[in-house]
Amino acid sequence: MDPVSADATQTPQDDDAPGRWDALAAQVEAWVADDPDPQTADELRTLLATARRTPDSLAPGATPDPTQQQVLDAASRARADLADRFSGLLQFGTAGLRGELAGGPHRMNRAVVIRAAAGLADFLLGELEGRTPAPRVVVGYDARHNSHRFALDTAAVMTAVGIEVHLLPAPLPTPVLAFAVRHLHADAGVMVTASHNPPRDNGYKVYLGGRVVTDGGQGAQIVPPTDAAIAAEIHRVPSVASVPRAEQGWTVLGPEIVEEYTRTAVALAADDTAARERAARLKVVLTPLHGVGGAVAHDVLARAGFTDVTLVPEQAEPDPDFPTVTFPNPEEPGAMDLALALASATRADLVVALDPDADRCAVAVVDTRHHVKGAPQSPQADGWRMLHGDEVGALLGADAVARAGAADPATLPAHPAVACSIVSSRLLGRIAASAGLGFAPTLTGFKWISRTEGLVFGYEEALGYCVDPAHVRDKDGISAAVRVVDLAARLAAEGRTLVDALDDLARAHGLHVSDQVSARFTDLGRIASTVQALRSAPPTSLGGSEVVQVVDLAAGTEDDRDGLPPTDGIRLLTADGTRVVVRPSGTEPKVKCYLEVVVPVAPDADRHALDAAHRTARARLTAVAADVRATLGL
């Protein structure tokens, strides 16, 4: 019996649906028989046994006593858990796979990964049928639970069907895998990681390049319709037992691949005597948040001349349980508390935080506008704050635009451009326009940003930055850290800071301030209904300003300058220039609302005028956020 069939989507609610329960139980037994992992097989057997339990000596129709009721409740919970685990095969999409580690087809486990690897292998063999040499695939993994095992399973499956597989030598950052795909001219790459998801999760990212993708998306993550084509191949896999797996034959890469990546990242910093002197004076605190980026990032920064870099000791080593944070995401409250405390205590100039797979980069600075006078000693009292992703994107974008303007045209693409997602700030577009450089708004996600024709820099507000698209066609927290720390060192040599550079951008283009309202749901059906309610009845005003434009992004934006394909979301624009974009998250059970206000600033505005503009912007953002929460019932 195929362990996954249409019957598995039928959810037994109680004992008055014995036919549905029997069908589900049969599906569980078939999956267990096909499961290559004794741990998840035993987990499912235990759940199934609990689901089948009935209280002793309970007569039909009788009222159960408390002990008997406990047995019935446990059985009901076990049935509901099994119904969810067997609600279908974990969906393979443009984010690859991502889900909770557990047994069953709707979870991340060896059985699901082996099927995914077999489907991807069949897709690659079909795409390159009749061509030589055989497809080449690079496989990487982070330090999460089961990441190495999933990577080995992928290598075994692909090697067995004749694919040339190169396995990264250790748990490494996602950018190293993305670099390796292009550097080794691979046809595909697989990275086993759940990025900044909770500890119980893992995932499976897929990149295509080599001979499969030859345009600007070479080495980038997959996009439609490729995701659907791979998913179709995965669904054709009848069972794990039917998938051949080699015991050896793949190549484990040596440390030279990390060395090549490191050399490339180091080259992004200025390299002259003055630059080295500036770098040596900058004091940086770095945290990888228990992820795999610490050692590589520290080495890259040191070799670029930044020798005064202190790792947060409690978070320096990889730990799949992420013991010091609730969510291993720099954006989440509390995630950067240890780093900020260390920076405050050591009088550092800058804090840099990487997410666990090091493809995102967060930056914190001292901003005197946030100094709390008379408050107890703390990082917040000292004025430490994390820069918003749009602020770092604007700083790096302005730097990239300036570099492009000063570069030899022969070293640039024919039509150099910068790009950001449609939920990111509009400031990057204004920076590019003022310099006569191309600008492209894209759908959310680096799979889209990285495909921009002539890309020299791209970012999304969720702390993702691509500063070296020639080598890493994806967001890269380590190379972004090099560029932002290098910029901070140049400014420090002039007696200035990143905050001063942001003030310069406000004088030139207006003060753009952004924020986010989000809601996490356990009932996934509420995500779609929340977005649909806004689509059906959008607000007439936000923050006291009339809503003058409502764009349903699901209908596409061909009538707009963006010219983007359809995506689920709504964009609202008010008379005072405030913009709100509401969309469901692509990787988390959330509805996200992206807010941006713009306040005019005079070109010669002094500090007092800028302070006033910031107060105005924050007041407007607060009012808009309150209206958005009320409208969506969050």
Question: Measured over all CA atoms, what is the biggest interatomic distance in the chain, rounded to whole angstroms?
Answer: 88
10 Å Cβ neighbour count for 562?
A: 17
Residue 265 belongs to what H/E stretch? helix 256-266
Half-sphere exposure of 585 (CA within 13 A, CB side): 16
- Within 8 A by CB and 6+ apart from 222, the residues are 94, 96, 206, 207, 208, 230, 447
Q: Is the pLDDT of residue 561 over 60?
A: no
Q: Is-cis flag, bond preceding 333, omega within 30? A: no
- Picking from 244, 203, 242, 246, the residue whose alpha carbon sits closest to that of residue 34 is 242
Q: What is the mean pLDDT of residues 626-631?
A: 92
- Picking from 172, 161, 144, 317, the residue whose alpha carbon sits closest to that of residue 252 is 172
Please report the pLDDT score of residue 28 as a whole number.
Answer: 97
Euclidean distance between CA atoms 222 and 232, whole angstroms: 14
The segment(s) of the chain belonging to CATH 3.40.120.10 are: 107-254, 259-386, 390-505
10 Å Cβ neighbour count for 490?
A: 18
**DSSP letters along 552-590, please?**
EGGG--TTSTT-PPP-S-EEEEETTS-EEEEEE-SSSSE
- Picking from 75, 78, 83, the residue whose alpha carbon sits closest to that of residue 58 is 75
Q: Is the pLDDT of residue 11 over 60?
A: no
Residues 442, 459 contacting (CB under 8 angstroms): no
Beta strands in 461-510 (DSSP E): 464-466
Please report the pLDDT score of residue 240 as a whole number.
Answer: 98
Tokens of 534: 């806004």
Compute the C-alpha angle 252/254/259, nearest 5°: 140
Beta-strand relationship, 251-252 and 164-167: parallel
Residues 121, 113 contacting (CB under 8 angstroms): no
Q: Which residue is associated with the tokens 């795409």?
A: 127
Reported as a single tens digit per residue, the pLDDT across 429-462 is 999 999 999 999 999 999 999 999 999 999 999 9
The segment(s) of the chain belonging to CATH 3.30.310.50 are: 512-632
Q: Does domain 390-505 have CATH number 3.40.120.10?
A: yes
Number of H helices, E strands in the chain: 18, 22
Please report the pLDDT score of residue 539 as a whole number.
Answer: 93
Superfamily for the 259-386 domain: Alpha-D-Glucose-1,6-Bisphosphate, subunit A, domain 3 (3.40.120.10)
- The percentage of residues in the chain with a pLDDT greater than 90, rounded to a whole number, is 81
Beta bridge partners of 546: 541
Euclidean distance between CA atoms 287 and 305, whole angstroms: 18
Helix, strand or coil, per DSSP, at residue 185: coil
Reported as a single tens digit per residue, the pLDDT across 604-614 is 999 999 999 99
10 Å Cβ neighbour count for 330?
A: 27
Residues 399, 406 contacting (CB under 8 angstroms): no
Chain-centroid distance of CA 217 in Å reads 18
10 Å Cβ neighbour count for 512?
A: 24
- Within 8 A by CB and 6+ apart from 164, the residues are 133, 134, 135, 136, 137, 251
Residue 553 amino acid letter: L
- Within 8 A by CB and 6+ apart from 74, the residues are 50, 53
Q: Is the pLDDT of residue 13 over 80?
A: no
Domain 107-254 classification at class level: alpha beta
Q: What is the mean pLDDT of residues 280-308?
A: 97
Edge-to-edge strand ranges of the sheet holding 417-421: 438-442, 417-421, 455-460, 464-466
Q: Is the pLDDT of residue 520 over 60?
A: yes
Alpha-carbon dihedral 319, 323, 328, 332, rounded to 10 degrees: -170
Q: What is the mean pLDDT of residues 362-373?
A: 85
Please report the pLDDT score of residue 634 as a whole number.
Answer: 78
Tokens of 516: 């986010």
Q: Is the pLDDT of residue 372 over 70?
A: no
Residue 225 amino acid letter: P
Of the two residues 133 and 585, the one the predictor is more confident about is: 133
Beta strands in 413-544 (DSSP E): 417-421, 438-442, 455-460, 464-466, 511-520, 541-542
3-class secondary structure per residue, 293-313: CHHHHHHHHHHCCCCCEEECH
Q: Is the pLDDT of residue 557 over 80?
A: no
- Within 8 A by CB and 6+ apart from 348, the residues are 283, 284, 285, 310, 342
Task: Name the residues annotated as catalytic.
Answer: 195
Helix, strand or coil, per DSSP, at residue 29: helix
Residues 48, 82 contacting (CB under 8 angstroms): yes
What is the CATH topology of the domain spanning 512-632?
TATA-Binding Protein (3.30.310)
**DSSP letters along 219-263, please?**
TEEP-TTHHHHHHHHHHT---STTS---SS--EE--THHHHHHHH
Confidence band (pLDDT; 50, 70, 90) for 533? Answer: confident
Of the two residues 519 and 32, the one the predictor is more confident about is: 32
Confidence band (pLDDT; 50, 70, 90) for 374? Answer: low
Confidence (pTM)? 0.93
Confidence band (pLDDT; 50, 70, 90) for 600? Answer: very high
Beta bridge partners of 287: 353
